[in-house]
Amino acid sequence: MGGTERSWTDKVLLALCLIGVLAPLCFRHVLTLDGPLHVQHAAMLGHRPFGEAPGGHGVHVALSNVWPRATDLVALPLLKMFGPAAAERGLVVSSALLLFLACRAWMRVTGGSPYLLALMPSFCFGQLLVLGFFGFLWGVAFVLLAWARWNKWRHTGGTFPMMLLLWCALAAWSHRSALLLLPLMVATQEGILFIRSRHFWKGALLLLVGAITAGGALLAVVRSVPLEPVRTRDPWRDLWQLRPLLLMDEVAERQLLLAYGAFLLCAIALAVHARWRSAWNTSDVLLPLAAVLLIGSLAVRTPMADLLYLADRAQWLALLLLALWFAVNVPRSRIALALAAFALIVHAGRMLLLERRMAPYAEYHHDLMRAVQQLPERGVVAVAHRGNDWILHNAGAQVSAVYNGMLLDKRGGLWYARGTPEAERLREVIGGRMCEGYWLRHMERDPEERFVDAVLVIGPVEAVGDSCATTYRPVLDKAMRTSFANGNVSIYQWR
């Protein structure tokens, strides 16, 4: 393949990859599990400079607990200009784009073939993105950028690059795990290099630093006690089924994931064949790192590890590192070009399924925004939920992001500030037992202590209510009236 033709092929592949990464910009609606919480945090941060805390009746959001996050750089301006739906869409796109650009930067430093750059869009969209773990994804992206800059500096020399410090600072700001991940990667790489250059003790010391870094993090997880019920999934099964790449519909995506598994086997064969008799290169450090992550995901089975989705995070990152190793080591060839085209086709199919799965939530979001306009101005509103759709778990945060009052929600609710008599009395009445409902019955009997103006019930009308909705129901029927209702939201106020 000639130089000009090769250049055009590379540019076309890069353009197609960018289109695949930016695909959510064209979706009818975008929704993730924790995305509303990120948007809610940005909204509260926007109130902090002005000191106008949302709330009423002496009960206000504790803005002193709200500190800037890296994701606020995207969420806050989009929220102010276009609303919460645009802010969440921006977080999804920025997370995928950052990861893709970080992978491309690492491949450029290590001299990888651009053909299997087409692998990366599919790894930028997976279970963690749908769960809304944007801080973690940003942290991984900045860690890869810092690692790429470190390798470039090692090969070219010169003064210590300030960009490396910038990427490290952004990684640490994005997610706390970055403070462990970057030393683990660098220590492992430098340790292997020292051992190969016959500086055994220096290499062993660096590997020990990496082991202590990883071991300290795992020990903290093992000793922690979870505050919520944990999941019961099998990480072995998740790995074989490529669950880290799953989006939202396991049944509909099964064939695409099988196709992607076959594709990865082909990539493994090509990469191993190309590297069989070749000398060691920088990219080979990805293999022991991926092995450590996979072993950790399978071996560390504690309630806290499940609560933090440790296995999901570790398996996704291990697969991403393996994909980078494939992409760097598969040489240019027509087979590699065919695999790149196949990867892009599979990714396009996954994006179509994801768009189709998310589109119905546009009506749900519209109903929520209509309900916000009917809530009491600067009031205090208790929230209950109906239905068991997992991606709507934090729907109350979508309301909180645009409401100037205070929402009391068991799911991802905000802390309200101490200090006023009303806040202290409400804290005493509720007593940390939001869904027991006795506090609502107390307010029914004593109108002078009705610090809560309304109850917002979120979810399809025909769905079964959660524990809050069930315990609130007698009071809602007896002492409150329906002031607003549509297919997905109901508002109850005192008679």
Give the range among 41-45, 73-77, 206-210 with minimum mean pLDDT.
206-210
Q: Look-up: residue for tokens 């205090």?
A: 380
Whole-angstrom Cα distance, residue 452 to residue 380? 5
C-alpha dihedral, 171 to 173 to 177 to 179, nearest 10°: 70
Q: Residue 267 class from Cβ within 10 Å (0-12 exposed, 13-18 middle, 19+ buried)?
A: buried
331-385 pLDDT, tens digit per residue, is 888 888 888 888 899 999 999 999 999 999 999 999 999 999 999 999 999 999 9
Give the range among 63-67, 157-161, 422-426, 463-467 with minimum mean pLDDT.
157-161
Output the furthest CA–CA distance in the chain (Å, rounded). Answer: 84
Whole-angstrom Cα distance, residue 128 to residue 204? 34
DSSP letter for each residue of 178-195: HHHHHHHHHHHHHHHHHH
Say whether pTM exceeds 0.85: yes
pLDDT reported for residue 437: 81
19-48 pLDDT, tens digit per residue, is 999 999 999 999 999 999 999 999 999 998
Q: 339-353: string of b/e by CB count within 10 Å (b at 16+)?
A: bbebbbebbebbbeb
Whole-angstrom Cα distance, residue 36 to residue 400? 9
Give the range among 139-143, 229-233, 277-281, 466-470 with minimum mean pLDDT.
229-233
Residues with Cβ within 8 Å of 165's Cβ and at least 6 positions away in sequence, in order, are none
Q: Closest by alpha carbon to 397, among 37, 34, 91?
A: 37
pLDDT reported for residue 209: 60
Residues with Cβ within 8 Å of 207's Cβ and at least 6 positions away in sequence, in order, are 187, 188, 191, 192, 195
Across residues 232-242, what is the average pLDDT?
78
Confidence of residue 208 (pLDDT cuts 50, 70, 90): low
Percent of the chain with pLDDT over 70: 88
pLDDT reported for residue 228: 46
More confident residue, 79 or 168: 79
Whole-angstrom Cα distance, residue 231 to residue 218? 18
pLDDT reported for residue 229: 45
Cα within 13 Å of Cα(460), Cβ side: 10
Residues 380 and 55: beta-carbon distance below 8 Å: yes
Whole-angstrom Cα distance, residue 415 to residue 52? 15
Whole-angstrom Cα distance, residue 224 to residue 218? 10
238-277 pLDDT, tens digit per residue, is 888 888 898 888 888 888 888 888 888 888 888 888 777 6
Instruction: Please count the other Cβ atoms lying within 10 Å of the Cβ belonging to residue 270.
Output: 19
Residues with Cβ within 8 Å of 232's Cβ and at least 6 positions away in sequence, in order, are 306
Strand ranges across the sheet with 454-458: 406-408, 380-385, 454-458, 489-494, 480-485
CA distances from 345 to 205, 331, 338, 349 (A): 45, 21, 11, 6
Q: Closest by alpha carbon to 203, among 227, 225, 186?
A: 186
Residue 55's DSSP bridge partners are 60
Whole-angstrom Cα distance, residue 406 to residue 454? 11
Q: Look-up: residue for tokens 């353009």?
A: 15
Q: What element of type H or E holds 489?
A: strand 489-494
Pairing of the two strands 55-56 and 59-60: antiparallel
Residues 441 and 424: beta-carbon distance below 8 Å: no
Q: Closest by alpha carbon to 180, among 139, 150, 149?
A: 139
